[in-house]
Protein backbone atom coordinates (compact mmCIF):
# COMPACT_ATOMS: atom_id res chain seq x y z
CA UNK A 1 0.00 0.00 0.00
CA UNK A 2 2.88 2.39 0.68
CA UNK A 3 3.73 2.39 -3.07
CA UNK A 4 0.26 3.50 -4.15
CA UNK A 5 1.00 7.28 -4.24
CA UNK A 6 4.10 6.63 -6.33
CA UNK A 7 2.10 4.53 -8.78
CA UNK A 8 -0.52 7.22 -9.03
CA UNK A 9 2.13 9.83 -9.76
CA UNK A 10 3.65 7.64 -12.46
CA UNK A 11 0.22 7.12 -14.03
CA UNK A 12 -0.44 10.84 -14.02
CA UNK A 13 2.90 11.48 -15.72
CA UNK A 14 2.14 9.15 -18.64
CA UNK A 15 1.18 10.85 -21.93
CA UNK A 16 -2.52 10.68 -22.69
CA UNK A 17 -1.81 8.51 -25.72
CA UNK A 18 -0.48 5.77 -23.43
CA UNK A 19 -3.62 5.60 -21.29
CA UNK A 20 -5.69 3.13 -23.28
CA UNK A 21 -8.62 3.49 -20.89
CA UNK A 22 -8.90 7.25 -21.39
CA UNK A 23 -9.60 7.50 -25.11
CA UNK A 24 -9.87 5.73 -28.45
CA UNK A 25 -9.93 6.63 -32.14
CA UNK A 26 -12.93 6.49 -34.47
CA UNK A 27 -12.31 6.34 -38.22
CA UNK A 28 -15.27 7.02 -40.51
CA UNK A 29 -15.10 6.24 -44.23
CA UNK A 30 -17.47 6.24 -47.20
CA UNK A 31 -17.35 5.80 -50.97
CA UNK A 32 -19.16 8.86 -52.36
CA UNK A 33 -17.31 11.62 -54.15
CA UNK A 34 -20.06 14.10 -53.25
CA UNK A 35 -20.29 16.11 -50.05
CA UNK A 36 -22.21 14.65 -47.10
CA UNK A 37 -23.24 17.57 -44.88
CA UNK A 38 -24.45 16.78 -41.35
CA UNK A 39 -23.55 13.11 -41.60
CA UNK A 40 -24.71 11.46 -38.39
CA UNK A 41 -22.22 9.09 -36.81
CA UNK A 42 -23.53 6.62 -34.26
CA UNK A 43 -21.36 4.60 -31.88
CA UNK A 44 -23.00 1.97 -29.66
CA UNK A 45 -22.36 3.09 -26.10
CA UNK A 46 -21.43 -0.49 -25.29
CA UNK A 47 -18.41 0.07 -27.56
CA UNK A 48 -17.50 3.22 -25.63
CA UNK A 49 -17.82 1.39 -22.31
CA UNK A 50 -15.75 -1.52 -23.57
CA UNK A 51 -12.88 0.80 -24.48
CA UNK A 52 -13.30 3.25 -21.59
CA UNK A 53 -14.84 1.04 -18.89
CA UNK A 54 -15.49 3.68 -16.23
CA UNK A 55 -16.64 6.52 -18.49
CA UNK A 56 -19.68 8.57 -17.45
CA UNK A 57 -22.09 10.01 -20.02
CA UNK A 58 -21.44 13.56 -18.82
CA UNK A 59 -17.66 13.05 -18.84
CA UNK A 60 -17.09 12.14 -22.47
CA UNK A 61 -16.16 14.30 -25.45
CA UNK A 62 -15.58 13.78 -29.15
CA UNK A 63 -12.73 15.66 -30.84
CA UNK A 64 -12.06 16.01 -34.55
CA UNK A 65 -8.65 15.56 -36.20
CA UNK A 66 -7.67 19.11 -35.23
CA UNK A 67 -8.53 18.54 -31.59
CA UNK A 68 -11.71 20.63 -31.66
CA UNK A 69 -14.60 19.40 -29.55
CA UNK A 70 -17.52 18.18 -31.67
CA UNK A 71 -21.08 18.49 -30.29
CA UNK A 72 -22.29 15.06 -29.19
CA UNK A 73 -25.04 13.38 -27.21
CA UNK A 74 -25.66 10.09 -25.45
CA UNK A 75 -29.08 8.45 -25.82
CA UNK A 76 -30.88 6.37 -23.21
CA UNK A 77 -34.17 4.98 -24.47
CA UNK A 78 -34.93 3.22 -21.16
CA UNK A 79 -33.94 5.63 -18.38
CA UNK A 80 -35.70 3.58 -15.66
CA UNK A 81 -33.60 0.51 -16.36
CA UNK A 82 -31.28 -0.46 -13.51
CA UNK A 83 -28.38 -0.45 -13.92
CA UNK A 84 -28.54 2.09 -16.74
CA UNK A 85 -27.74 0.82 -20.22
CA UNK A 86 -27.07 3.75 -22.49
CA UNK A 87 -27.79 3.29 -26.17
CA UNK A 88 -25.61 5.40 -28.44
CA UNK A 89 -23.03 8.16 -28.68
CA UNK A 90 -24.18 10.43 -31.53
CA UNK A 91 -22.30 13.21 -33.32
CA UNK A 92 -22.05 14.69 -36.82
CA UNK A 93 -19.47 15.63 -39.42
CA UNK A 94 -19.72 17.68 -42.61
CA UNK A 95 -17.86 15.65 -45.23
CA UNK A 96 -16.62 17.94 -47.99
CA UNK A 97 -16.74 16.76 -51.60
CA UNK A 98 -13.91 14.28 -52.08
CA UNK A 99 -13.37 13.81 -48.32
CA UNK A 100 -13.84 10.09 -47.84
CA UNK A 101 -12.19 9.63 -44.43
CA UNK A 102 -12.52 11.47 -41.13
CA UNK A 103 -10.96 10.64 -37.77
CA UNK A 104 -12.20 11.47 -34.30
CA UNK A 105 -11.10 10.81 -30.74
CA UNK A 106 -13.54 9.83 -28.00
CA UNK A 107 -12.10 10.90 -24.63
CA UNK A 108 -12.97 10.69 -20.97
CA UNK A 109 -12.88 14.05 -19.20
CA UNK A 110 -12.17 14.89 -15.57
CA UNK A 111 -14.95 17.49 -15.40
CA UNK A 112 -18.56 17.36 -16.62
CA UNK A 113 -19.11 18.47 -20.21
CA UNK A 114 -21.74 21.25 -20.48
CA UNK A 115 -24.71 20.54 -22.76
CA UNK A 116 -24.42 21.70 -26.37
CA UNK A 117 -27.02 24.05 -27.91
CA UNK A 118 -30.04 22.12 -29.14
CA UNK A 119 -30.61 21.83 -32.88
CA UNK A 120 -33.55 19.43 -32.54
CA UNK A 121 -36.60 19.46 -30.30
CA UNK A 122 -39.75 17.36 -29.83
CA UNK A 123 -42.58 17.62 -27.36
CA UNK A 124 -46.18 16.89 -26.51
CA UNK A 125 -48.25 20.10 -26.64
CA UNK A 126 -51.18 19.73 -24.22
CA UNK A 127 -51.97 23.44 -24.41
CA UNK A 128 -52.93 23.00 -28.10
CA UNK A 129 -55.33 20.04 -27.98
CA UNK A 130 -52.64 17.34 -27.66
CA UNK A 131 -50.56 18.31 -30.69
CA UNK A 132 -47.17 16.65 -30.95
CA UNK A 133 -44.59 18.99 -32.51
CA UNK A 134 -40.97 18.59 -33.52
CA UNK A 135 -38.25 20.45 -35.40
CA UNK A 136 -34.61 20.61 -36.33
CA UNK A 137 -32.60 23.55 -37.60
CA UNK A 138 -34.25 23.28 -41.05
CA UNK A 139 -37.97 22.59 -40.72
CA UNK A 140 -40.72 21.88 -38.17
CA UNK A 141 -43.72 19.53 -38.12
CA UNK A 142 -46.64 18.47 -36.00
CA UNK A 143 -49.24 15.72 -35.75
CA UNK A 144 -52.63 15.71 -34.13
CA UNK A 145 -53.61 14.06 -30.87
CA UNK A 146 -56.77 12.93 -29.09
CA UNK A 147 -57.64 16.39 -27.79
CA UNK A 148 -58.34 17.62 -31.31
CA UNK A 149 -61.20 15.12 -31.60
CA UNK A 150 -63.19 16.37 -28.61
CA UNK A 151 -65.85 19.05 -28.11
CA UNK A 152 -63.15 21.18 -26.49
CA UNK A 153 -61.64 21.67 -29.96
CA UNK A 154 -64.71 23.60 -31.10
CA UNK A 155 -64.60 24.56 -34.77
CA UNK A 156 -61.07 23.13 -35.01
CA UNK A 157 -62.26 19.60 -34.21
CA UNK A 158 -60.70 17.13 -36.63
CA UNK A 159 -59.67 13.54 -37.12
CA UNK A 160 -56.37 13.36 -38.99
CA UNK A 161 -53.14 11.36 -38.97
CA UNK A 162 -51.54 13.60 -41.60
CA UNK A 163 -48.20 15.32 -40.95
CA UNK A 164 -48.15 19.11 -40.89
CA UNK A 165 -45.26 21.31 -42.06
CA UNK A 166 -44.07 24.53 -40.45
CA UNK A 167 -41.70 26.49 -42.68
CA UNK A 168 -38.67 28.01 -40.91
CA UNK A 169 -36.18 30.62 -42.07
CA UNK A 170 -34.10 30.45 -38.86
CA UNK A 171 -31.93 27.67 -37.45
CA UNK A 172 -32.87 28.05 -33.79
CA UNK A 173 -35.87 26.30 -32.19
CA UNK A 174 -39.23 28.00 -32.75
CA UNK A 175 -41.90 25.52 -31.63
CA UNK A 176 -42.41 26.87 -28.12
CA UNK A 177 -42.45 30.50 -29.26
CA UNK A 178 -44.94 29.86 -32.05
CA UNK A 179 -47.37 28.07 -29.76
CA UNK A 180 -47.02 30.98 -27.36
CA UNK A 181 -47.98 33.37 -30.19
CA UNK A 182 -51.35 31.69 -30.59
CA UNK A 183 -52.98 29.76 -33.42
CA UNK A 184 -53.72 32.63 -35.81
CA UNK A 185 -50.43 34.44 -35.23
CA UNK A 186 -48.14 31.60 -36.34
CA UNK A 187 -49.85 31.61 -39.72
CA UNK A 188 -48.14 34.95 -40.41
CA UNK A 189 -44.41 35.25 -41.12
CA UNK A 190 -42.85 37.89 -38.85
CA UNK A 191 -39.28 36.92 -39.71
CA UNK A 192 -38.92 33.33 -38.46
CA UNK A 193 -41.29 31.59 -40.86
CA UNK A 194 -44.87 30.37 -40.54
CA UNK A 195 -47.37 27.55 -40.68
CA UNK A 196 -48.40 27.83 -44.34
CA UNK A 197 -49.36 24.20 -44.91
CA UNK A 198 -52.90 22.82 -45.02
CA UNK A 199 -53.21 19.22 -43.93
CA UNK A 200 -56.85 18.77 -43.02
CA UNK A 201 -57.78 15.10 -43.13
CA UNK A 202 -55.33 14.36 -45.96
CA UNK A 203 -51.86 12.81 -45.51
CA UNK A 204 -49.84 16.03 -45.27
CA UNK A 205 -46.18 15.17 -45.81
CA UNK A 206 -45.69 11.49 -45.07
CA UNK A 207 -48.90 10.35 -43.45
CA UNK A 208 -50.02 6.93 -44.63
CA UNK A 209 -52.82 4.41 -44.88
CA UNK A 210 -53.68 0.94 -46.11
CA UNK A 211 -54.33 1.03 -49.87
CA UNK A 212 -56.59 -1.43 -51.68
CA UNK A 213 -55.96 0.00 -55.14
CA UNK A 214 -58.90 2.41 -54.95
CA UNK A 215 -59.39 3.48 -51.35
CA UNK A 216 -57.06 4.64 -48.59
CA UNK A 217 -57.91 3.45 -45.08
CA UNK A 218 -56.35 5.70 -42.47
CA UNK A 219 -56.09 5.85 -38.70
CA UNK A 220 -57.54 8.44 -36.35
CA UNK A 221 -55.41 10.86 -34.32
CA UNK A 222 -52.52 9.38 -32.36
CA UNK A 223 -53.43 7.86 -28.98
CA UNK A 224 -50.16 7.90 -27.03
CA UNK A 225 -46.74 9.52 -27.30
CA UNK A 226 -43.26 8.81 -25.94
CA UNK A 227 -40.07 10.86 -26.26
CA UNK A 228 -36.96 8.65 -26.32
CA UNK A 229 -34.24 11.23 -27.06
CA UNK A 230 -34.36 14.98 -27.32
CA UNK A 231 -31.19 16.51 -28.67
CA UNK A 232 -29.00 18.35 -29.06
CA UNK A 233 -28.32 16.48 -32.34
CA UNK A 234 -30.95 13.76 -32.55
CA UNK A 235 -34.54 13.54 -31.31
CA UNK A 236 -36.41 10.23 -31.27
CA UNK A 237 -40.07 9.80 -30.37
CA UNK A 238 -42.95 7.40 -30.91
CA UNK A 239 -46.63 7.97 -31.63
CA UNK A 240 -49.06 5.06 -31.37
CA UNK A 241 -52.33 4.71 -33.29
CA UNK A 242 -55.30 2.64 -32.22
CA UNK A 243 -56.80 -0.17 -34.28
CA UNK A 244 -58.69 0.78 -37.43
CA UNK A 245 -60.54 -1.21 -40.07
CA UNK A 246 -58.55 -1.36 -43.31
CA UNK A 247 -60.52 -3.18 -46.01
CA UNK A 248 -61.38 -6.02 -43.63
CA UNK A 249 -58.06 -6.11 -41.82
CA UNK A 250 -57.67 -4.82 -38.26
CA UNK A 251 -54.54 -2.67 -38.18
CA UNK A 252 -52.73 -0.68 -35.49
CA UNK A 253 -49.47 1.24 -35.79
CA UNK A 254 -46.54 2.61 -33.84
CA UNK A 255 -44.60 5.35 -35.62
CA UNK A 256 -41.01 6.04 -34.55
CA UNK A 257 -39.48 9.29 -35.80
CA UNK A 258 -35.73 9.94 -35.82
CA UNK A 259 -35.03 13.64 -36.34
CA UNK A 260 -31.41 14.64 -36.99
CA UNK A 261 -29.95 18.12 -37.17
CA UNK A 262 -29.04 19.50 -40.57
CA UNK A 263 -31.50 17.41 -42.62
CA UNK A 264 -34.65 18.33 -44.52
CA UNK A 265 -36.01 14.78 -44.09
CA UNK A 266 -36.82 12.74 -40.99
CA UNK A 267 -36.60 8.97 -40.75
CA UNK A 268 -39.94 7.31 -40.01
CA UNK A 269 -40.33 3.67 -38.98
CA UNK A 270 -43.93 2.45 -38.93
CA UNK A 271 -44.54 -0.90 -37.27
CA UNK A 272 -47.97 -2.41 -37.85
CA UNK A 273 -49.89 -5.08 -36.01
CA UNK A 274 -52.20 -6.75 -38.54
CA UNK A 275 -54.87 -9.19 -37.43
CA UNK A 276 -55.38 -12.16 -39.73
CA UNK A 277 -52.79 -11.13 -42.33
CA UNK A 278 -49.02 -11.11 -42.57
CA UNK A 279 -48.80 -8.01 -44.78
CA UNK A 280 -50.84 -5.16 -46.22
CA UNK A 281 -50.26 -2.68 -49.08
CA UNK A 282 -49.37 0.80 -47.80
CA UNK A 283 -49.65 4.18 -49.49
CA UNK A 284 -47.68 7.14 -48.11
CA UNK A 285 -49.04 10.47 -49.17
CA UNK A 286 -48.35 14.10 -49.97
CA UNK A 287 -51.37 16.39 -49.87
CA UNK A 288 -52.56 17.99 -53.08
CA UNK A 289 -53.21 21.73 -52.86
CA UNK A 290 -54.84 24.19 -55.23
CA UNK A 291 -51.46 25.60 -56.20
CA UNK A 292 -50.73 23.84 -59.50
CA UNK A 293 -47.89 22.02 -57.80
CA UNK A 294 -45.34 20.04 -59.80
CA UNK A 295 -45.26 16.31 -58.96
CA UNK A 296 -42.16 14.17 -59.50
CA UNK A 297 -42.46 10.37 -59.39
CA UNK A 298 -38.98 8.85 -59.43
CA UNK A 299 -39.20 5.07 -59.54
CA UNK A 300 -35.43 4.64 -59.89
CA UNK A 301 -34.53 6.59 -56.77
CA UNK A 302 -37.75 5.67 -55.00
CA UNK A 303 -39.14 9.08 -54.14
CA UNK A 304 -42.28 11.15 -54.60
CA UNK A 305 -41.90 14.92 -54.47
CA UNK A 306 -44.15 17.95 -54.78
CA UNK A 307 -43.10 21.54 -55.46
CA UNK A 308 -45.80 24.18 -54.99
CA UNK A 309 -46.15 27.94 -54.95
CA UNK A 310 -47.92 30.00 -52.34
CA UNK A 311 -49.05 33.43 -53.61
CA UNK A 312 -47.79 35.34 -50.57
CA UNK A 313 -45.41 32.91 -48.88
CA UNK A 314 -42.96 31.57 -51.42
CA UNK A 315 -42.46 28.01 -52.61
CA UNK A 316 -42.45 24.74 -50.70
CA UNK A 317 -41.06 21.33 -51.58
CA UNK A 318 -42.31 18.18 -49.86
CA UNK A 319 -41.22 14.58 -50.35
CA UNK A 320 -41.37 10.95 -49.30
CA UNK A 321 -38.39 8.67 -49.96
CA UNK A 322 -38.35 4.87 -49.70
CA UNK A 323 -35.20 2.74 -49.30
CA UNK A 324 -33.77 1.02 -52.37
CA UNK A 325 -36.07 -1.62 -53.80
CA UNK A 326 -39.02 -0.72 -51.56
CA UNK A 327 -40.96 1.53 -53.96
CA UNK A 328 -43.96 -0.34 -55.35
CA UNK A 329 -45.08 2.42 -57.70
CA UNK A 330 -47.31 5.45 -57.42
CA UNK A 331 -51.00 6.28 -57.22
CA UNK A 332 -53.32 9.13 -56.31
CA UNK A 333 -56.73 9.82 -54.85
CA UNK A 334 -58.72 13.03 -54.62
CA UNK A 335 -56.68 14.34 -51.67
CA UNK A 336 -53.15 13.00 -52.06
CA UNK A 337 -50.41 11.87 -54.36
CA UNK A 338 -49.20 8.49 -53.12
CA UNK A 339 -46.09 6.32 -53.14
CA UNK A 340 -46.68 2.61 -52.58
CA UNK A 341 -44.96 0.04 -50.37
CA UNK A 342 -45.77 -3.10 -48.39
CA UNK A 343 -45.90 -3.49 -44.63
CA UNK A 344 -45.23 -6.82 -42.90
CA UNK A 345 -46.86 -7.30 -39.52
CA UNK A 346 -44.38 -6.65 -36.72
CA UNK A 347 -41.60 -5.45 -39.05
CA UNK A 348 -40.80 -1.72 -39.31
CA UNK A 349 -41.53 -0.05 -42.64
CA UNK A 350 -38.85 2.62 -42.99
CA UNK A 351 -39.22 5.75 -45.06
CA UNK A 352 -38.12 9.38 -45.05
CA UNK A 353 -40.36 12.43 -45.18
CA UNK A 354 -39.79 16.16 -45.05
CA UNK A 355 -39.88 19.56 -46.67
CA UNK A 356 -37.86 22.56 -47.83
CA UNK A 357 -38.97 26.21 -48.09
CA UNK A 358 -37.37 28.51 -50.63
CA UNK A 359 -37.33 31.44 -48.19
CA UNK A 360 -35.03 29.51 -45.89
CA UNK A 361 -32.39 30.38 -48.49
CA UNK A 362 -31.00 26.94 -49.33
CA UNK A 363 -33.33 25.11 -51.76
CA UNK A 364 -35.12 27.51 -54.09
CA UNK A 365 -36.50 25.46 -57.00
CA UNK A 366 -38.08 22.16 -57.95
CA UNK A 367 -34.88 21.04 -59.63
CA UNK A 368 -32.81 21.88 -56.55
CA UNK A 369 -35.27 19.98 -54.35
CA UNK A 370 -35.18 16.89 -56.55
CA UNK A 371 -31.39 17.09 -56.68
CA UNK A 372 -31.35 17.14 -52.87
CA UNK A 373 -33.54 14.03 -52.82
CA UNK A 374 -31.34 12.18 -55.31
CA UNK A 375 -28.29 13.06 -53.21
CA UNK A 376 -30.13 11.76 -50.14
CA UNK A 377 -30.78 8.46 -51.92
CA UNK A 378 -27.12 8.24 -52.92
CA UNK A 379 -26.15 8.61 -49.26
CA UNK A 380 -28.60 5.91 -48.22
CA UNK A 381 -27.14 3.56 -50.81
CA UNK A 382 -23.54 4.26 -49.75
CA UNK A 383 -23.61 4.23 -45.93
CA UNK A 384 -20.64 5.27 -43.84
CA UNK A 385 -18.36 2.70 -42.23
CA UNK A 386 -17.11 3.15 -38.67
CA UNK A 387 -13.95 1.53 -37.25
CA UNK A 388 -12.37 1.79 -33.80
CA UNK A 389 -8.76 1.65 -32.63
CA UNK A 390 -6.80 2.50 -29.50
Would 20-114 and 121-381 be classified into the same CATH topology? Answer: no
Between the alpha carbon of residue 246 and those of residues 27, 201, 210, the distances in Å are: 47, 16, 6
* Residue-level pLDDT, tens digit, the chain, 390 residues: 333 443 333 334 334 443 457 999 999 999 999 999 999 999 999 999 999 999 999 999 999 999 999 999 999 999 999 988 899 999 999 999 999 999 999 999 999 999 999 999 999 999 999 999 999 999 999 999 999 999 999 999 999 999 999 999 999 999 999 999 998 999 999 999 999 999 999 999 999 999 999 999 999 999 999 999 999 999 999 999 999 999 889 999 999 999 999 999 999 999 999 998 999 999 999 999 987 799 999 999 999 999 999 999 999 999 999 999 999 999 999 999 999 999 999 999 999 999 999 999 999 999 999 999 999 999 999 999 999 999
pTM: 0.94
- Output the DSSP codes for 272-306: EEEET-SEEEEEEEEE--TT-PEEEEETTTTEEEE
The CATH superfamily assigned to 20-114 is Golgi alpha-mannosidase II (2.60.40.1180)
**Dihedral sign computed on CA atoms, order 94, 380, 339, 260:** negative
Which CATH code fits 121-381? 2.70.98
Sequence ranges of the domains in the chain: 20-114, 121-381
Amino acid sequence: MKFQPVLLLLAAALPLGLRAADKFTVTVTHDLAAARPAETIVIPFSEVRQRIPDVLIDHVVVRDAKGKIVPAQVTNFNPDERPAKYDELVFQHDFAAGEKTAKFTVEKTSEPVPPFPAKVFARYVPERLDDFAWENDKVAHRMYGPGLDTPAAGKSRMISSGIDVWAKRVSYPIVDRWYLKGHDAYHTDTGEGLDLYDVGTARGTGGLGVWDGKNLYVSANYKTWKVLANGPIRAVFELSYGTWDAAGAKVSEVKRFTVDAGHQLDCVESTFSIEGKTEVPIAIGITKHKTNGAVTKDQKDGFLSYWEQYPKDGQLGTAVVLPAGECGGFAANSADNLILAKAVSGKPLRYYAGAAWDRAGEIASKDAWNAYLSAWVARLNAPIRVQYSD
